[in-house]
Amino acid sequence: MLKLLQAHLLRRCSLLVAAMLFGASSTTYADTGSTTPSVPPSNSSIAGASQPTDELVSKFTTFAGSTINAQALVNGLRNDAPVTLQATTPMNPDATFTPPTKAMGFGNINIALSLAKAELASQGITQPTPSQIQTALLGGPLTTPSGTTNLPGVLTLRSEGNGWGEIAHALGTKLGDVVRSDKAQRPDKDAGLAQSSKPERAERVEHPERLDRPARPERPERPERAERPERPDRHARR
């Protein structure tokens, strides 16, 4: 009887120890098998890249004739890819060209398109066709009502290693004038509100003339002090 009781107790102890060992191994397995959940990449870089693109597209939509054409210009110059400009009227054909420059930054794209816009405006063209935009960027003959002019091409000059100041000089303008004119013509953020002019500064009120201070009267001369009579001799009084 005693042997059976000892065997039963030993068996229960063995089961308890086995259960404890199994629980510890399960916890260790769960800890080692866990992985840190992956964090999705932030979209801040994507948003930061698209913002300058959207600004340039909005800025040159009127010049390009449509939003699609402006997107084609910005993306083509940015990625060194072919550009296709769609005609806005059936009389004007589409234009497809490959920029001769390498991939350009947003600042260079802004200057290149601003110079092309200014050059066409100097020829009396404010709403150019796709072929006229191509001529301004790549160069070639440009026909206007006043005649035919051979343009050097903004991007062609840039691909030859010329700086923007040299390119502006070759186009007969100054880079500073183009940049200042571009800033002056930039539309207001709120399109529905007219740009408020700065109130004129009120003219400074002149102070009235200061009255002359009356002359101080001359101080009368101090009368001379009377001479003190001489004291009689002390011995003479005796």
**What digits encode the pLDDT tens for the residues 30-59?**
444 444 444 444 444 444 557 899 999 999
Per-residue pLDDT tens digits for 94-105: 999 999 999 999
Of residues 86 and 214, more confidently modeled: 86
Report yes or no: 106 and 52 within 8 Å, Cβ to Cβ: yes
CA distance 70 to 229: 117
Whether pTM exceeds 0.75:
no
Report yes or no: 111 and 72 within 8 Å, Cβ to Cβ: no
Buried b (16+ CB within 10 A) or exposed e, 89-115: eeebeebebebbbeebebeebbbbbbb
Distance of CA 59 to the CA centre of its chain: 13
Here the contacts of 138-142 (C-beta below 8 Å, separation 24 or greater) are 138/97, 138/100
Report yes or no: 88 and 95 within 8 Å, Cβ to Cβ: no
Of residues 183 and 89, more confidently modeled: 89
How confident is residue 235, by pLDDT bands cut at 50, 70 and 90?
A: low
What local confidence, expressed as pLDDT, does residue 196 receive? Answer: 36
Q: What is the mean pLDDT of residues 146-166?
A: 96
Of residues 90 and 112, more confidently modeled: 112
Tell me: pLDDT of 198 over 80.
Answer: no
